[in-house]
Amino acid sequence: MVVDALSEPNSYRNLCHEHSDGAPMPSAEALRDIVELVRSIIFPGYYGKSSINTATLKYHIGVGVERLYSLLTEQILAGLSFADYCDTAAYAAYNQQTVQTELNRMARDRAGRFIEQLPEIRRVLATDVVAAYNGDPAAKSFGEIISCYPIIKELTIYRMAHELWLLDVPLLPRMLTEMAHSETGIDIHPGATIGEYFTIDHGTGVVIGETCIIGRNVKLYQGVTLGAKSFPLDAEGNPIKGIPRHPVLEDDVIVYSNASILGRITIGRGATIGGNIWVTQDVPAGASITQKR
Amino acid sequence: MVVDALSEPNSYRNLCHEHSDGAPMPSAEALRDIVELVRSIIFPGYYGKSSINTATLKYHIGVGVERLYSLLTEQILAGLSFADYCDTAAYAAYNQQTVQTELNRMARDRAGRFIEQLPEIRRVLATDVVAAYNGDPAAKSFGEIISCYPIIKELTIYRMAHELWLLDVPLLPRMLTEMAHSETGIDIHPGATIGEYFTIDHGTGVVIGETCIIGRNVKLYQGVTLGAKSFPLDAEGNPIKGIPRHPVLEDDVIVYSNASILGRITIGRGATIGGNIWVTQDVPAGASITQKR
Amino acid sequence: MVVDALSEPNSYRNLCHEHSDGAPMPSAEALRDIVELVRSIIFPGYYGKSSINTATLKYHIGVGVERLYSLLTEQILAGLSFADYCDTAAYAAYNQQTVQTELNRMARDRAGRFIEQLPEIRRVLATDVVAAYNGDPAAKSFGEIISCYPIIKELTIYRMAHELWLLDVPLLPRMLTEMAHSETGIDIHPGATIGEYFTIDHGTGVVIGETCIIGRNVKLYQGVTLGAKSFPLDAEGNPIKGIPRHPVLEDDVIVYSNASILGRITIGRGATIGGNIWVTQDVPAGASITQKR
Amino acid sequence: MVVDALSEPNSYRNLCHEHSDGAPMPSAEALRDIVELVRSIIFPGYYGKSSINTATLKYHIGVGVERLYSLLTEQILAGLSFADYCDTAAYAAYNQQTVQTELNRMARDRAGRFIEQLPEIRRVLATDVVAAYNGDPAAKSFGEIISCYPIIKELTIYRMAHELWLLDVPLLPRMLTEMAHSETGIDIHPGATIGEYFTIDHGTGVVIGETCIIGRNVKLYQGVTLGAKSFPLDAEGNPIKGIPRHPVLEDDVIVYSNASILGRITIGRGATIGGNIWVTQDVPAGASITQKR
Amino acid sequence: MVVDALSEPNSYRNLCHEHSDGAPMPSAEALRDIVELVRSIIFPGYYGKSSINTATLKYHIGVGVERLYSLLTEQILAGLSFADYCDTAAYAAYNQQTVQTELNRMARDRAGRFIEQLPEIRRVLATDVVAAYNGDPAAKSFGEIISCYPIIKELTIYRMAHELWLLDVPLLPRMLTEMAHSETGIDIHPGATIGEYFTIDHGTGVVIGETCIIGRNVKLYQGVTLGAKSFPLDAEGNPIKGIPRHPVLEDDVIVYSNASILGRITIGRGATIGGNIWVTQDVPAGASITQKR
Amino acid sequence: MVVDALSEPNSYRNLCHEHSDGAPMPSAEALRDIVELVRSIIFPGYYGKSSINTATLKYHIGVGVERLYSLLTEQILAGLSFADYCDTAAYAAYNQQTVQTELNRMARDRAGRFIEQLPEIRRVLATDVVAAYNGDPAAKSFGEIISCYPIIKELTIYRMAHELWLLDVPLLPRMLTEMAHSETGIDIHPGATIGEYFTIDHGTGVVIGETCIIGRNVKLYQGVTLGAKSFPLDAEGNPIKGIPRHPVLEDDVIVYSNASILGRITIGRGATIGGNIWVTQDVPAGASITQKR
């Protein structure tokens, strides 16, 4: 019978996640709540259900930050337990009780440090709003950018996820950026480094790889890939993880739609890359390259 | 402390939307309900939870139209208040009471005029269903097109949003098309003008800019960009808003996947544009251009 | 008045779906529940709300399979009734009572046969997880692949939908793959045939047509099209349905981002297709072709 | 282990309801929806979420009646299947297929006949509203009675349930009146017969038994019992079902709080029964009896 | 047909509430939210979903008060519009625009004045908690009283409703106390006046009429009625509204279960009324009366 | 300002529950889920959303028991933390870390012991179903009793709550019985001891006190009080907690509606107590007492 077949341990080896006590999987639903909370704190009045005015804004932010701390602690704990579960060796020396206590402490600590970064995240997102506004003649106001533009939805999530990445939180950064990928069609790896005043127009199909480094005031169009060209294999033929393999874009670079920039190359300050082309070598500062016709 | 930092007015300048009394932000959730209602009115029996038959169809449409009028009035009012808030100069001569009364009147008026357009919107969408059916050998029935095909989901929203755009409703048209963009990966600006019997196959990555003009019986494939080539800056270096800067596609044009057509150029009647190419100059009627290999 | 205009039968001809008694439209919401159930059965502990351990896993799978059978029977019945409604000729010889009884029997039978395929679907998806892990140096664990990667979300749905397609279930396979298309930007037709160890990196914009045949261990990148080049028309100028018109990819083929492979051509075993190019002719086994610059 | 003990058939004999295919239990949730629908049809504008005006009232009633028919058919079918399940002998001569078809026909028939009674139910409830208004000096308007008074909530449900009882629908009438009992503390058996212009003040603790017959213009206060005094047992010592055993109250009777009237006695026209007393014998018309002090 | 019969204006005369523009019925659901909000403000940490500590309590109360003001204004406006609708004469001199503006102003004003009473409501409820604790040997802690005891749920709603009654808000006070009646079986009219340190044990079946006056430190048991004995009719035979017709209970009175105290009589300070008796005459201070056996 | 007044610590002394880390209040919503789960385990097929048959019943019970264990552990922990918070002295010797670990262990232990009692709870409830059926000539089947009768809803909760009471779980038993009290109007204290084959007809207004002891085969009617007559005060004038002060009813006793039996008296085996009377002294076995008229 099918239930027996599906319950046969060999059939679900590697596909099943057993939960240790009190350690559920990170929850996509909780992460969605977290994103909503961060949006309501960063852009008060644009997100969140309540009406806001300057007299009561502090109450709303106070409640939001408390709830964010609590939700985030829970999810970071789930992420840490998940990683712990996947990599039991790392904790082999400790007994379960000690591990649980230590993971709890780590989760609270990282949630607290994330929250301390919120003012800086807001400051940088404010520059991204300016970049999106300046880059689109169809934009009518900052308010329209904040409430409609996919790039702001994407960057709010990416900049959150990148902070969590820097805090060495497992799984959550990736789950967050995949949520943004699904919503906007823009796939930015949480490990990528991206400067201020960044924008992407339209965005669908953009890919930005894990080891990319992007300067200030860079603009991309839809369909652009900042990817790896190939990746070295180790002795057993498996890809070696963690090697810098994606491009560096210096300040003031523009890349037009559907261009693919591949490998650890550098696009120099102020360069312009035309649409639908394939770039696998360094481009000097100020250069402009386009598709041959 | 972080709550103080985040409540510091300088830190949220331009990022916060204070609500005047009784004037909330337009709500993404309400817009989703509005789209569902319009779908259930345009395509009775395909959308909406109730079962339908010819004897009771009029009751359903009667209830749907009443609810649509009420929801839409509310959202248009929110949009008008939002625009009012962003552009306080426009209403400087009036006192707040007068403004509120006037905005209410405008919202009811525009909602009413939108609803009068529903029969015409349905008529045009019926031609789009035919175009999608004829354009896809995999399609089995009109019913399958209406219930599954992303292009019909996209065009229902775009054609609604375009009417609201023509009625000068702020913010809502853009929020609507970004909802469709997120769902289908097709980004049509609500300002674009698109004729009957229009279709896009697969659709992901398509971009159609604000000032595009598209004739009858045009077909696009996934990844096509109808974009701006560049845009003139004003004296302060800001992009000048509202200039015609996107292509004109005459009747019966076909554009294959990932082609980019840029700038205020004209693709003549019956022309065919091949895939993965970059077009920045007029193409004569009946011509066929393809990628060089 | 607008309600009258919208209730005028001529205005909704072909756009309205009348429900026969007890035969609602297939429901997108129910299909979402079905996908969640299948995910929780295939990848226990990663999906589904409950916590799992080996002692209770069988109870969860038992309950899940029973609920899946019930939901699926209902949706298959809706799909069969829908097709019946669209194609009344097929059942003309029978009275309504007989038809309803027969459709019920067919729905239960097909739901049962689908469920018998679940162990095989899980076996093949396990190979896809391995392929995704091996293909991405940024991947940290199988668990990360299963819980985050869009390709696994896509393939779980595609492989379900393909089974339903093989069981000749109307409408549902297409509704399912369009749900996946909306979530991931990857558009795989449920009729396509795809071997084990298949993966797509990033994925946005990929299109795989109805009559594609893909071997084992094939890898695609974002923006790849496996499409039709053109399609023959019948005497009335309508496209002829069901003709093989999409490519065959043999084992071990790699296709880089934004390449378009069109028409019933064969890409030979182990061939590599470079990014952003347009392929309309056979490529021999082991060959490597790239964009001219 | 506890799961084994609880799954042991002897342990759940008589406590378990096995569902035959397609025949779920009647659903408390669905009955709540049905009550809400009936309230919105009987008292348009007071119940139901939509706003109403005379121009659109007919659309709302049309949609409400259609949905009511569909929900009610489903629940009546569940009730019939439940009774069938409890009393398998009754259908022993038929095969399962025939039974299912017949139950379906019966369910549709009874739902239709119930709906035909709605105008009469509304007419009688209108007299109850008048009685409640006249009986309470604290009442300010008919609107207040309709929207707040527990007796109207109770009687709307009782009068529905009584119609279903007369239509011989199993289980549902009793489930409905117990819902009302829980909400208002008034326990009226659906089999009781109650005339026009009936009211109960406050109501908590009132009990009206299955075979009561109540005339026009009767008023009760809280805590009144119209109960059985004792009931004859059959040869095996089980109570004999269905014997008239509750009081008859003729027109214009008033019963004050906490009085208990027990057995098949008659309280004559216009009699007044004082509070906190115990009545087990006929009371002549016009009499007034009170507690001895 | 039944839809026609039910849409016939004569059939719904007095039973239908037409909504004027922007003036829905008061909503039971919104009132439930309002009660939850008030509970979370009065008893922080016992009600409301968030966790609380002294550092963040002020944020929670700030957000709660703002939301309460907004919800309450909306519901008071609905109540005022409802009363206006029922009593059109009162506003005959004004045009619709003026009325709407004035009702808005009144709603905001009364919501604001209600909120100013919250500290006093909390102060009095704190005395009720003490009375419930002292009166029940089974009570273990104040926390148990606040989170479980029906009398505290009842009094929180009654004391809110009474404030709204004093502010002359139509309909809402009565809807609120009927919500409490349904939840606890205790029916306190919002017009009754009740002093500090009040408690009712168990409570089911208690009735306290509109013109009751209850002193400090009074205790009732379940089933007690403080009702009217009879009420004078006017010339047309209708009950005269608003006459004092319920008892006065002075300080320190105890009334045991199921006693009925009826009419405008006075139960003197410190008197004790035994269970199951019927009192229709003044009882002197300090007296103790019981049922004759 | 009101927010300041409400945030003033003196104003919420004793009314506020500060949550220690990870220790929320017991949740009424979670308790409702727990009751639903227990109902679906005790009466499979009557409660719970799924359809059931003998082949799959064990899966459902397995999943139900696992979920019950998890929910119950959480709520018991919340109850223990609450009691701990109220009575800090009890844990003064331990540090916070140790306390938390110990409370977790206690919660898991008690949840496990509760679950072991489920087969016995089911066995006793089966006798209560028989008693309700035999006691009501209007009852048509065991199925009707299980799905409609308030006494079974009440006793399922009371018998659960009593087990938790015996396991010394704080707060939860009382919250559970107050939920049942609100639903049925029957107020049974979780500390009462009640034998097999117990039933109450109609039930509204029944009160059964903390120290009652009720034998086998006892039947009560609506409005019966089994209460305390008075309670001794300690030196400070506070009621002394925990003294036996409620009646003992031996086997086979019947008590008719609205009778009040008060104090630690004994009603002997087989005695009958008439309605609306006040009993404060022992009643010998087999006696029958009624109201004097």
Contact of B57 with chain D, judged by CB distance below 8 Å, is answered with no
Give pTM, 2 decimals.
0.92
Token pair listed for A271: 């360069």
Contact of D105 with chain B, judged by CB distance below 8 Å, is answered with no
**Helix (H), strand (E) counts: chain E:** 9, 14
Q: What is the pLDDT of residue E22?
A: 53
Which helix (H) or strand (E) covers residue B226, if one does?
Answer: strand B225-227
Q: What is the pLDDT of residue A69?
A: 95
Question: How far is F155 from A270, CA to CA, in rounded Å?
Answer: 78
| Interval D204-235: pLDDT, tens | 999 999 999 999 999 999 999 999 987 777 78
Q: C-D interface: how many C-beta pairs under 8 angstroms?
A: 4
Token pair listed for A129: 């709003």
Which residues, 6 or more positions from E160, have their beta carbon under 8 angstroms from its beta carbon? Answer: E35, E38, E114, E121, E176
Minimal Cα distance from B275: which residue of A? A276
Q: Is F44 helix (H, G, I), strand (E, B) or coil?
A: strand
Contact of C98 with chain D, judged by CB distance below 8 Å, is answered with no
Residues of E in contact with F245 (CB under 8 A): 137
Q: How far is B46 from chain C (nearest CA, A)?
A: 6
Q: Does chain E reach chain C with at least 3 CB pairs under 8 Å?
A: no
Question: How far is D229 from C78, CA to CA, in rounded Å?
Answer: 55
Which residues, 6 or more positions from E172, have their beta carbon under 8 angstroms from its beta carbon? Answer: E26, E31, E75, E76, E79, E161, E164
Cα torsion E191, E194, E199, E205: sign: negative
Q: pLDDT confidence of F19, banded at 50, 70, 90?
A: low
Of residues B287 and C243, more confidently modeled: B287
* Mean pLDDT within D140-160: 95
Q: What is the pLDDT of residue A97?
A: 62
* Mean pLDDT within F86-96: 49
F217-231 in b/e burial notation, b at 16+ Cβ within 10 A? Answer: bbbbbbbbbbbbeee
Q: How far is C93 from chain A (nearest CA, A)?
A: 37
Cβ contact, residue pair D57, E243, below 8 Å: no
Q: Is E45 helix (H, G, I), strand (E, B) or coil?
A: coil
Q: How far is C54 from chain F (nearest CA, A)?
A: 12
Mean pLDDT estimate for chain F: 89
Neighbours of chain C (3+ CB pairs under 8 A): A, B, D, F
Q: What is the pLDDT of residue A9?
A: 83
Which among C16-25, C83-92, D161-170, E91-100 has the top mean pLDDT? Answer: D161-170
Which residues, 6 or more positions from E162, have their beta carbon under 8 angstroms from its beta carbon? Answer: E173, E190, E191, E192, E193, E194
Contact of F126 with chain D, judged by CB distance below 8 Å, is answered with yes
| Interval C219-238: pLDDT, tens | 999 999 999 987 777 787 77
Residues of D in contact with F111 (CB under 8 A): none
* Mean pLDDT within E279-283: 95
Residues of F in contact with E135 (CB under 8 A): 239
Instruction: Report whether A136 contacts A148 (CB < 8 A).
Output: no
CA–CA–CA angle F80, F86, F89 (5° rounding): 95
Give ranges for CATH 1.10.3130.10 in chain F: 21-185
Helix residue spans in B87-141 (DSSP H): 96-116, 118-135
* Mean pLDDT within D82-97: 55
Q: pLDDT confidence of D291, banded at 50, 70, 90?
A: low
Of D43, D45, D293, the CB nearest to E292: D293
Residues of C in contact with D3 (CB under 8 A): 59
pLDDT per 10-residue tile (average), chain A, 293 residues: 85 74 78 96 84 81 92 94 61 59 90 96 96 90 92 98 97 97 97 98 96 98 92 75 91 94 96 90 94 59
pLDDT at F293 over 60: no
CA A242 to chain centre: 17
pLDDT at C91 over 50: no
Residues of E in contact with A62 (CB under 8 A): 56, 58-59, 62
Which among E120-134, F45-59, F88-102 has the top mean pLDDT? Answer: E120-134
Which helix (H) or strand (E) covers residue F145, if one does?
Answer: helix F142-148
* Mean pLDDT within D273-282: 90
| Interval C250-286: pLDDT, tens | 999 999 999 999 999 999 999 999 988 889 999 999 9
Q: What is the pLDDT of residue C292?
A: 61
3-state helix, strand, coil in chain F (%, to 5): 45, 15, 40
Q: How far is B52 from chain D (nearest CA, A)?
A: 9
Which residues, 6 or more positions from F133, have their beta carbon under 8 angstroms from its beta carbon? Answer: F139, F141, F142, F145
Of C148, C258, C275, the CB nearest to A175: C148
Neighbours of chain E (3+ CB pairs under 8 A): A, B, D, F
DSSP conformation letters of F255-269: E-TT-EEESS-EE-T
Q: Report the Cα–Cα distance between both ends of chain F, in Å, rounded.
A: 62
Contact of C101 with chain D, judged by CB distance below 8 Å, is answered with yes
Helix residue spans in chain C (DSSP H): 2-7, 9-12, 28-42, 57-86, 96-116, 118-135, 142-148, 150-166, 172-184
Minimal Cα distance from E9: which residue of D? D54
Q: How far is D57 from chain F (nearest CA, A)?
A: 35
Residues of D in contact with E26 (CB under 8 A): 147
DSSP conformation letters of D233-273: B-TTSPBPTT---S-EE-TT-EE-TT-EEESS-EE-TT-EE
Question: How far is D38 from C147, CA to CA, in rounded Å?
Answer: 46
| Interval D238-261: pLDDT, tens | 777 778 999 999 999 999 999 999
Q: Is C17 helix (H, G, I), strand (E, B) or coil?
A: coil
Residue that the structure tokens 């042991």 belong to: D8
pLDDT at F276 over 60: yes
Token pair listed for A251: 């300040």
CA A114 to chain centre: 14
Q: Report the Cα–Cα distance between both ends of chain E, in Å, rounded.
A: 62
Contact of D54 with chain B, judged by CB distance below 8 Å, is answered with no
Amino acid at B101: T
**Substitution target from D72, D206, D258, D289 for chain E, most E beta carbons within 10 A:** D258
Q: How far is A30 from chain E (nearest CA, A)?
A: 15
Which among B24-33, E211-220, F271-280 has the top mean pLDDT? Answer: E211-220
Weakest-pLDDT range from C151-160, C178-187, C239-248, F234-243 = F234-243
Instruction: Report whether F26 contacts E143 (CB < 8 A).
Output: no
pLDDT at B288 over 70: yes
Cβ contact, residue pair C62, F59, below 8 Å: yes
Q: What is the pLDDT of residue F249?
A: 98
Cβ contact, residue pair E138, F182, below 8 Å: no
Contact of E50 with chain A, judged by CB distance below 8 Å, is answered with yes
Contact of F288 with chain D, judged by CB distance below 8 Å, is answered with no
Give ranges for CATH 2.160.10.10 in chain A: 192-293
* Cβ count near A20 (within 10 Å): 15
Fold observed for domain C21-185 = serine acetyltransferase, domain 1 (1.10.3130)
Domain C192-293, architecture per CATH: 3 Solenoid (2.160)
Helix residue spans in D43-171 (DSSP H): 57-86, 96-116, 118-135, 142-148, 150-166
Q: What is the pLDDT of residue E117?
A: 96
pLDDT at D92 over 70: no
